[in-house]
Amino acid sequence: MSASASKRILRRFRRNDRGSAAVEFSLVAVPFFALLFAIIETGIVFFASQVLENGVQDSGRLIYTNQITNTNTTVAQFKADLCNRVSVLMNCSNIDVDVKYYPAGTAITITDPIDGAGNYDNSGLGFNVPPANSNGTVVVRAFYRWPLYVTGLGYNIANIGRNTANAKRLLSGLSAFHIEPS
C-alpha cells in the first residue's frame, strides 16, 4: 500500500462520525447515572428525615398536652403512635425512642447514640414520661437506621458503619418542651 493510499484511508476514517454518539455516551453514562442516583438517594434521605422529625413533633405533643402523662403509657404504646405517623417510609421495628423528663432546674444532657468508632449504641436510650402535674422539661427523640445503596459508587453520606457493607444513615427527630401542669 502506498503512502498516499494510507493517507486517504486515514482521512476517510477521521471524517466518518457514525457511532460517535454511542462512544461519547458510553464515556459519560457511568458518572451521569452515579450522580443521578446519588441525588435521588440524598433527596429521599432528607425527605425521610423530615417525616421522622414531624412524627416526633406530633407524638411528643401527646406528652406536652398531658394526654399520656395521666396514664400508664409504655414505650411500646408511644412507639406505636409514632409508627403510625412514619410507617409510610420506615419499618417500625427499626425505630428507637428516647423520652426523658428533667425536673425544673435540672441540667439537660443529650448524648449522641453514635460512638467514636461510628457504631450505633442505643443503650443510653430510655422512656421516662413525666409525672402528672409536673412542670419540668421533656426531650423526645427517635432514631432510625436508614439503609444506603449508592455508597458503593463512592458517594457516602453514612454515619453508621461508614465504608462497610452495612453502611447506614442514622436519622433522628427531636422535640423538647417545657410541660405545662394540667
Residue 148 lies in a domain: yes
Arithmetic mean of pLDDT over the chain:
85
pLDDT (0 to 100) of residue 51: 96
Q: How many domains does the chain have?
A: 1
Residue 3 lies in a domain: no
pLDDT (0 to 100) of residue 85: 94
- Mean pLDDT value across residues 13-40: 80
Q: Between 20 and 43, whose confidence is greater?
A: 43
Residue 8 lies in a domain: no
Structural domain that includes position 163: 18-178
User: Edge-to-edge, what's the strand order for the sheet holding 95-102?
Assistant: 95-102, 137-147, 168-178
Which residue(s) pair with 98 in the sheet? Answer: 141
pLDDT band at 174 (very low <50, low <70, confident <90, very high): very high
Residue 153 lies in a domain: yes
Residue 12 lies in a domain: no
Q: What is the dihedral of CA 53, 59, 60, 66, to 10 degrees?
A: 170
Residue 13 lies in a domain: no
- Mean pLDDT value across residues 156-177: 88
pLDDT (0 to 100) of residue 113: 93
pLDDT band at 152 (very low <50, low <70, confident <90, very high): low
pLDDT (0 to 100) of residue 11: 72
| Residue bearing cell 403509657 | 73
- Mean pLDDT value across residues 92-119: 91
CA 172, 177, 181, 182 torsion: positive or negative? negative
Look up the pTM and report it. 0.81
Model confidence at 14: pLDDT above 70: no
Residue 11 lies in a domain: no
Residue 4 lies in a domain: no
